[in-house]
Chains A and B, each alone.
Chain A
């Protein structure tokens, strides 16, 4: 399955597919730039942006750590009523900061010059699916997201170990409250079932034993950073998957990641994310082997995947995730970033809110993205991005009338349009098709779009927007 692509076959269509899957798509110009590099250098350029470990960054203003110990001490001095008020204020602040965090991440996905790094960060978020509904401090969420970006294409076991010590994960799966004499099984179970091995590849006893090894991994309330508390750690002997020893949490993760089941499980997850919804056994075997051969390091496995001929046969077969869909819409239409209090409800309607996965298993993906209502939402939001049936930059409720009168937001795709494309129906359709589908329209679809334009002014922005909306309101546009 990983037989390399014949370099002579490398075409703009291949470059477009690579950019769709290893990033969030691009404009015809960006695709041409990638194409001109040739297959190997194109893949290398994407990997180069994802590989180096990023230096730690200072948290932005909306994700500052707080001294929870101090806050608790202060709370104890307050009356019941004052405490309730504090709690409400804190909730409001957390929600406000979370909205900004989610909005800024969306912007980062769109604007990044290292799209594969961001695409992998989103992969890891789906894999270690953590939700803001339980993990409130935005500092935790931001820290976790930065860990995903930092180790994006690195060693899988290093990533799992980073999650063992990740404050958001310690809250999400109750590690921080697990006690030596009565360990909590939540993290131990999910690390095997969902993060490394898959159901059926471990026993209930393994879960119980691992839960002991994961005790003592906690959060320092004063700094909101990870800290190891030896007196809460069970340092006794454990048997994990038949291996006996005085294992600590990191060592248990090494045992898990060395299992053949881990390579298979992760291969399937990567395939479902980057290649196809239902990968064949041959695909799974090939990628699992590649992972093993590459010592469970992501980047070299991805290099082989992205340079394989079979990868390019999956073109236009995968349903875009809502985040992919929205980021790609924003990029292709080249409209300003809508404010985050508008993108959040949009993502809710589409069925994927950043840091609000449905559960710890993450989003099922594939066909599960599409229901009658999420498909209608895609069609409707595509319209709103073009000022049809709403406007994502307006103030919202109560000001509808004003909104309608507002000037439509400008789309770079429309303003950049060469004069010649507007001179014929086919020219206009194909200009949009190149941007939306990365290839020309043909046959009955082309005829239908041209038919729609008959007798209309091709110069009219309203007509152009309607055509774009129709072309985006198709099953075809949901696929990459």
Chain B
């Protein structure tokens, strides 16, 4: 490609990026790819009449994964059901400790944070969420949740990836942000989008030298003063990358594409997170607390992101679960409560909805190691300003079991449909493939 082609044009973000050090490094090896990419960007941007709504003005979905299979029966506890205590003589939560909600159900005593949100009218609990023919493999079940597929079908792309494909053409790559070490499968898409990082401070090109071309380019890369550098109004100014160029990406093309996305987003992320320092006093000093703190900083900074993805691991409680499960739930409740307070103080709470999920619940009966083995359905939480508080779905029966597991009564895709339609404002059927009834939690 010839950089000279763009001389005389106003400084656009695209042009700026072509000249960054990272961009330069990328173009060094396979310029043909980038040439095609940028050509596609130009033509798509010109052709696209629609400006995708962005998180700067629109609503925001935060997906919180509880990895490992959360013990739903010890999270939302049927404390009036003697069968619960009969199945769990050692690890059952004593009735006196349960934080009562309604209808004989209550939260685990470590979930004081969530209980506070319930009282504030910011928590919806959906009971008995699952899917037909549940799979007890962590990996297969997680895949089903991530791709929103039927248990018998294998779907290549993630449900959020399909949302990006359907509804976010022309959006910035940062339309989806995962605070994680690896990109979640839910983001995988025909046209890969969404960025992943753990620490925003390290999400940048850190080369430094003096008095040479590389240094000059690096300075330009870190240039954050020029507003025009970061796209036009509304954050939807960057054209999508043409499918022709990137479908069926080879490892090499995939690397190219990721390098371009990194260069397109890192300055913005850094600038946004620099604007507001983490409020460490508010959040637990856990990985989840830190992740939600980062998300809150990015929302405060006006990122164009519409979907954030955070994760909390450790729910695979096969053994001695009482202490470890309580610790996890305390972290969950306290982190979410801090997040809500933070957003409220920012004035952004009304725009944000958090949805929690786990790949499965656990067996009704405790095992011989004071833990629980893999099970099926479990509860989900919706949290945020737009949430209608209360209990949804039906509490699963402890007598009508399938292979020792409770049966689901709400398909998890109903909650995805609800999040897509009520929070992200798009039609859910083209994304999920079927019509799923909405749950009136938002």
Any A CB within 8 A of the CB of B108: no
Any B CB within 8 A of the CB of A282: no
Binds B, one of A2-10, A77-85, A181-189: A181-189
- Minimal beta-carbon separation of B406 from chain A (angstroms): 16
Report B121-157 residues with CB < 8 Å from chain A CB. 135-140
Q: In the complex the two chains form, is B209's CB within 8 Å of A466's CB?
A: yes
- Minimal beta-carbon separation of B190 from chain A (angstroms): 14
Which single residue of chain B is at the shortest CB-CB distance from A178? Answer: B369
Name the residue in B27, B68, B183, B265 with the highest tally of chain A Cβ atoms < 10 Å from its Cβ. B183
Q: In the complex the two chains form, is B182's CB within 8 Å of A358's CB?
A: yes
Known A349-B202, A388-B209: A375·B262 in contact at CB below 8 Å: yes
Report A305-329 residues with CB < 8 Å from chain B CB. 317-319
Any B CB within 8 A of the CB of A25: no
Q: Mark B333-348, 1 if CB is under 8 A from A, else 0.
A: 0000000000000000
Report B404-421 residues with CB < 8 Å from chain A CB. none
Which single residue of chain B is at the shortest CB-CB distance from A373? Answer: B197
Considering the chains assembled together, what is the distance between the CA atoms of A185 and B183 in angstroms?
Answer: 29
Which single residue of chain B is at the shortest CB-CB distance from A462? Answer: B209
Among B137, B251, B258, which residue has its beta carbon within 8 angstroms of that of A375?
Answer: B258
Considering the chains assembled together, what is the distance between the CA atoms of A366 and B254 in angstroms?
Answer: 10
Considering the chains assembled together, what is the distance between the CA atoms of A196 and B34 in angstroms?
Answer: 42
Q: In the complex the two chains form, is A177's CB within 8 Å of B369's CB?
A: yes
Q: In the complex the two chains form, is B29's CB within 8 Å of A474's CB?
A: yes
Any A CB within 8 A of the CB of B358: no
Considering the chains assembled together, what is the distance between the CA atoms of A257 and B214 in angstroms?
Answer: 55
Q: In the complex the two chains form, is A479's CB within 8 Å of B139's CB?
A: no
Which residues of chain B have C-beta atoms less than 8 A from A348's C-beta?
181
Any A CB within 8 A of the CB of B255: yes
Any A CB within 8 A of the CB of B37: no
Name the residue in B135, B205, B207 with the highest tally of chain A Cβ atoms < 10 Å from its Cβ. B207
Any A CB within 8 A of the CB of B261: yes
Q: In the complex the two chains form, is B181's CB within 8 Å of A184's CB?
A: no
Q: Which interface class (under 10, 10 to 19, 20 to 34, 35 or more) fits B?
A: 35 or more
Any A CB within 8 A of the CB of B367: yes
Q: In the complex the two chains form, is A475's CB within 8 Å of B256's CB?
A: yes
Report A444-472 residues with CB < 8 Å from chain B CB. 444-445, 448-449, 452, 456, 462-463, 466, 469-470
Among B29, B31, B266, B367, which residue has its beta carbon within 8 angstroms of that of A476?
Answer: B29
Any A CB within 8 A of the CB of B259: yes
Which residues of chain B have C-beta atoms less than 8 A from A206's C-beta?
none
Which residues of chain B have C-beta atoms less than 8 A from A452's C-beta?
213-214
Which residues of chain B have C-beta atoms less than 8 A from A289's C-beta?
none
Q: In the complex the two chains form, is B255's CB within 8 Å of A478's CB?
A: yes
Report A360-374 residues with CB < 8 Å from chain B CB. 360-361, 364, 366-368, 370-374
Considering the chains assembled together, what is the distance between the CA atoms of A204 and B375 in angstroms?
Answer: 12
Q: In the complex the two chains form, is B319's CB within 8 Å of A174's CB?
A: yes
Considering the chains assembled together, what is the distance between the CA atoms of A370 and B252 in angstroms?
Answer: 11
Which residues of chain A have C-beta atoms less than 8 A from B266's C-beta?
372, 376
Report B215-271 residues with CB < 8 Å from chain A CB. 249-252, 254-256, 258-259, 261-262, 265-266
A-B Cβ contacts below 8 A, count: 167
Which residues of chain B have C-beta atoms less than 8 A from A475's C-beta?
26, 29-30, 252, 255-256, 259
Q: In the complex the two chains form, is B205's CB within 8 Å of A379's CB?
A: yes
Considering the chains assembled together, what is the distance between the CA atoms of A323 and B431 in angstroms?
Answer: 37
Any A CB within 8 A of the CB of B22: yes
Q: Which interface class (under 10, 10 to 19, 20 to 34, 35 or more) fits A?
A: 35 or more
Any B CB within 8 A of the CB of A251: no
Any A CB within 8 A of the CB of B203: yes
Considering the chains assembled together, what is the distance between the CA atoms of A445 and B318 in angstroms?
Answer: 54
Which single residue of chain A is at the shortest CB-CB distance from B139? Answer: A361
Which residues of chain B have C-beta atoms less than 8 A from A177's C-beta?
319, 369
Among B29, B207, B251, B259, which residue has its beta carbon within 8 angstroms of that of A277?
Answer: B251
Which single residue of chain A is at the shortest CB-CB distance from B180? Answer: A371
Any B CB within 8 A of the CB of A389: yes
Among A368, A469, A476, which residue has its beta carbon within 8 angstroms of that of B183?
Answer: A368
Q: In the complex the two chains form, is A182's CB within 8 Å of B183's CB?
A: no
Q: In the complex the two chains form, is A371's CB within 8 Å of B196's CB?
A: yes
Name the residue in B182, B256, B262 with the highest tally of chain A Cβ atoms < 10 Å from its Cβ. B182
Any A CB within 8 A of the CB of B25: yes
Known A370-B254, A375-B262, A376-B262: A351·B206 in contact at CB below 8 Å: no
Which residues of chain A have C-beta atoms less than 8 A from B204's C-beta?
376
Any B CB within 8 A of the CB of A132: no
Q: In the complex the two chains form, is B28's CB within 8 Å of A317's CB?
A: no
Any B CB within 8 A of the CB of A104: no
- Minimal beta-carbon separation of B217 from chain A (angstroms): 10
Which residues of chain B have C-beta atoms less than 8 A from A61's C-beta?
none
Considering the chains assembled together, what is the distance between the CA atoms of A449 and B203 in angstroms?
Answer: 26
Any B CB within 8 A of the CB of A380: yes
Q: Mark A176-220, 1 if CB is under 8 A from B, else 0.
A: 011101111110010001100001000010010000000000000
Considering the chains assembled together, what is the distance between the CA atoms of A182 and B25 in angstroms?
Answer: 59
- Minimal beta-carbon separation of B56 from chain A (angstroms): 20
Among B137, B252, B265, B313, which residue has its beta carbon within 8 angstroms of that of A372?
Answer: B265
Which residues of chain A have C-beta atoms less than 8 A from B27's C-beta?
448
Among B137, B261, B265, B368, which residue has its beta carbon within 8 angstroms of that of A193?
Answer: B137
Considering the chains assembled together, what is the distance between the CA atoms of A452 and B25 in angstroms?
Answer: 11
Name the residue in A277, A317, A371, A462 with the highest tally of chain B Cβ atoms < 10 Å from its Cβ. A371
Which residues of chain B have C-beta atoms less than 8 A from A415's C-beta?
none
Q: In the complex the two chains form, is A390's CB within 8 Å of B206's CB?
A: yes
- Minimal beta-carbon separation of A355 from chain B (angstroms): 15
Among B25, B198, B250, B403, which residue has its beta carbon within 8 angstroms of that of A373?
Answer: B198
Q: Mark B262-284, 1 if CB is under 8 A from A, else 0.
A: 10011000000000000000000
Report B352-403 residues with CB < 8 Å from chain A CB. 367-369, 371, 373-374, 403
Any A CB within 8 A of the CB of B212: yes
Known A456-B212, A470-B25, A475-B30: A383·B258 in contact at CB below 8 Å: no
Q: In the complex the two chains form, is B369's CB within 8 Å of A174's CB?
A: yes
Which residues of chain A have C-beta atoms less than 8 A from B136's C-beta?
189, 204, 207
Among A178, A181, A474, which residue has its beta carbon within 8 angstroms of that of B26?
Answer: A474
Considering the chains assembled together, what is the distance between the CA atoms of A473 and B205 in angstroms?
Answer: 10
Q: In the complex the two chains form, is B319's CB within 8 Å of A364's CB?
A: no
Which residues of chain B have C-beta atoms less than 8 A from A449's C-beta?
28
Which residues of chain A have C-beta atoms less than 8 A from B195's C-beta?
371-373
Any A CB within 8 A of the CB of B9: no
Any B CB within 8 A of the CB of A298: no
Any B CB within 8 A of the CB of A420: no
Report B11-26 residues with CB < 8 Å from chain A CB. 22, 24-26
Which single residue of chain B is at the shortest CB-CB distance from A474? Answer: B29
- Minimal beta-carbon separation of B247 from chain A (angstroms): 14
Q: In the complex the two chains form, is B212's CB within 8 Å of A376's CB?
A: no
Which single residue of chain B is at the shortest CB-CB distance from A200? Answer: B140
Among A463, A473, A479, which residue has its beta carbon within 8 angstroms of that of B251?
Answer: A479
Which residues of chain A have C-beta atoms less than 8 A from B261's C-beta?
372
Among B28, B29, B205, B213, which residue has its beta carbon within 8 angstroms of that of A380?
Answer: B205
- Minimal beta-carbon separation of B432 from chain A (angstroms): 23
Q: In the complex the two chains form, is A358's CB within 8 Å of B181's CB?
A: yes
- Minimal beta-carbon separation of B370 from chain A (angstroms): 9
Which residues of chain B have C-beta atoms less than 8 A from A359's C-beta?
67-68, 138, 313
Q: List 8 A-B pairs, minimum CB-CB distance, nearest first.
A: A182-B368, A373-B197, A475-B255, A371-B196, A372-B262, A179-B368, A389-B206, A177-B369
7 more CB-based (< 8 A) A-B contacts, given A194-B139, A370-B258, A466-B209: A177-B369, A179-B369, A277-B251, A361-B138, A367-B249, A380-B205, A463-B212
27 inter-chain pairs at a CB distance below 8 angstroms, sorted by A residue, are A174-B318, A177-B319, A178-B369, A179-B369, A184-B369, A317-B250, A317-B251, A317-B252, A358-B181, A370-B255, A371-B195, A371-B197, A372-B196, A372-B258, A373-B203, A374-B196, A376-B202, A376-B204, A379-B205, A379-B207, A380-B206, A389-B208, A445-B28, A452-B213, A463-B212, A474-B26, A476-B30
Chain B contact residues, CB within 8 Å of chain A: 22, 24-31, 67-68, 135-140, 173, 181-183, 195-198, 202-209, 212-214, 249-252, 254-256, 258-259, 261-262, 265-266, 313, 318-319, 367-369, 371, 373-374, 403
